[in-house]
Amino acid sequence: MEHDITLYVGLDGHKDSITIAYALGSGEVELLGRIGTTQTDIDRLCKRMQSKARRIRVVYEAGPCAYGLYRQLVRKGFECMVCAPSLNPRRPGERVKTDRRDAVKLVRLLRTCDLATVYVPTVDDEAFRDLERAWVSAKDDMKCARQRLKSFLLSHDVRYLGCADWWAAHRRWISAFSFDNLWQQLALDELRRTIEDRLAQCERLEAALREAVLDWRFHPAVLALQTMRGGSSLRPWACSPS
């Protein structure tokens, strides 16, 4: 019976559309078409797949749309996997890529078990990772803001004669310095204010991370990493699952 055969489904997903190919058992790979990405579209697709077979295996490539589609399909009872695009086998000279070709290729590779899967984080892991990335982005923004201020001062031949930047003495020197020209002083004030805003943002996110890690399932691993030489209370969090 057809319902006892595995249905292999390949999805080539984008922001607003998903191209679908499928194969029933060892049969020929066929194109099902293109659908939208709304919940209604996914529910309709699931019903169509369930009408063809009982066991359904679905695959799509990891991308900017993350794991929402994976979780929807798993809740429906399907076997779903997310593969790494850079690790998919590719024929020499194969350069033409279209949505249809990619979907068909995924079905064939899924059927022959030639796909490399990626780790799909839990909802809590992904939420913690988002918080961590926000903190890292804030740190990067603060670094850029400091560099802009230093470049601005250097362009006016204003040099700090101390030996350590952004320590207490350097910050006091920056806060005390002023220009005679009003417009230059306004520019300096805005650059200093940007640094203060980024610093406050980093402190808020760091406090949130310290509180969140206590309830995270990888908290014991974080504590273990902190015992290593050079470890800190925040650095190990850069290793959270992604």
Q: What is the pLDDT of residues 52-67, one digit of tens each?
A: 888 999 999 998 888 9
**Is 216 inside a domain boundary?**
yes
- At 9, is the pLDDT very low, low, confident or very high (cuts 50, 70, 90)? very high
Contacts of 55 (CB under 8 A, 6+ apart): 4, 5, 6, 7, 79
Query: pLDDT over 70 for what percent of the chain?
Result: 92
Sign, CA torsion 7/123/84/100: positive
C-alpha dihedral sign at 6, 8, 110, 125: negative
| pLDDT tens readout for residues 164-219 | 889 999 999 999 999 999 999 999 999 999 999 999 999 999 999 999 999 999 88
Query: What distance in Å separates the CA atoms of residue 13 and residue 16, rounded to the nearest whole number?
Result: 8
Same domain (yes/no): 77, 127: no
Tell me which of 74 and 90 has the higher pLDDT: 74
One-letter identity of residue 28: E
Q: Domain boundary at 61, 84, 111, which?
A: 111
**Residue 138's domain spans which residues?**
123-239
Same domain, 130 and 24: no
Residues 151 and 219 in one domain: yes
Whether 235 and 129 map to the same domain: the answer is yes
| Mean pLDDT (whole number) for 86-103 | 82
Predicted confidence band of residue 1 (pLDDT cuts 50, 70, 90): very low
Backbone angles phi, psi at 36, to 5 degrees: -85, -175
Q: Which residue has the higher pLDDT, 57 or 233?
A: 57
The whole-number pLDDT of residue 241 equals 46
Number of independent structural domains in the chain:
2
Q: What is the CATH number of the domain that holds 75?
A: 3.30.420.140
